[in-house]
Structures are given as structure tokens and as C-alpha cells.
Amino acid sequence: MARFFVGVADRLSDLVLVERTVNGRPGLVAEDAGTTVAVYAFDIAGDRIRHVWGVLNPEKLRPWTA
């Protein structure tokens, strides 16, 4: 199992998380070597995250790469 995590860490060395508003909610955009690879939006109530929405589909991420 440790080898798996080491391999993942090596592949994500260029990963950058950027805070953005996503559909009117607080969110994060994950970029790997300048390419958007994921977008996350959070439903927050008080000081807790109640729900997380994630998009990984490259077709749906096209607007985020422009």
C-alpha cells in the first residue's frame, strides 16, 4: 500500500490547488502542470462542510481550462 501512495505523490508533484468560487459556492480548482484536472465545490454551514461536489470529467472541465 505504501508503494501506491509514493507512486501517486510522484505523479502529482505539479498539482496546484487554487481557491475559486464554483457555482456560487466556495471551491477549489486542481491544476496539474497548468491543466485543470478537477473542480470541487463546498456546501458550508457554520464552520462545517456539509457537502462536497467534485467534477473530474475532462469534457465538463473544458470551461475551466480557458
Label residue 25 exposed, middle or buried (CB < 10 Å: 0-12, 13-18, 19+): middle
Q: How far is CA 48 from the centre of its chain?
A: 19
pTM over 0.85: no
pLDDT (tens digit per residue) in 9-62 = 556 667 888 899 998 999 988 888 888 888 999 999 999 999 999 988 888 888
